[in-house]
């Protein structure tokens, strides 16, 4: 898998000439020019509602911006549990952390 566009990303809005509203997620590139990374549409048959579109764009930006720090926190807690031989006392928590790490990294468990 290639590297994703680095964050942080922000949510902006745009209305195309067709009248289809778009919420977009973008980041600023090296030259401080916006880099368009994804779109959330509304206004066409089969699209999300405007409220859903806005919520989807915000969720994508939040997840994008928090991903690396949350993944590192999960790895740190798992190392602590495993390093202190606490697996038996925190078996459920360790398994939850392993599952979260696997999902965040695209691995299968």
Query: Residue 24: is its pLDDT beyond 50?
Result: yes
- pLDDT tens readout for residues 79-103: 999 888 776 788 899 999 999 999 9
d(CA 97, CA 87): 12
Q: Which long-range contacts (CB under 8 A, 24 or more apart) does 7-16 make?
A: 7/64, 7/65, 8/61, 8/64, 8/65, 9/37, 9/60, 9/61, 9/64, 9/65, 10/61, 11/57, 11/58, 11/61
Query: Residue 46: is its pLDDT beyond 90?
Result: no
Band the pLDDT of 19: cuts 50, 70, 90: very low
């Amino acid at each position: 898998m290639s590297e994703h566009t680095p964050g942080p990303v922000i949510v902006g809005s745009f209305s195309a000439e067709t009248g289809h509203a778009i919420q977009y997620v973008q980041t600023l590139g090296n030259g401080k020019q916006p880099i368009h990374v994804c779109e959330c549409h509304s206004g066409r048959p089969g699209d999300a509602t405007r409220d859903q579109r806005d919520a989807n764009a915000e969720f994508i930006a939040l997840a994008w911006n928090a991903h690396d720090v949350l993944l590192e926190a999960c790895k740190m807690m798992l190392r602590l549990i495993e390093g202190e031989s606490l697996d038996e006392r925190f078996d459920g928590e360790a398994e939850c952390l392993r599952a979260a790490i696997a999902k965040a990294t695209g691995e299968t468990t």
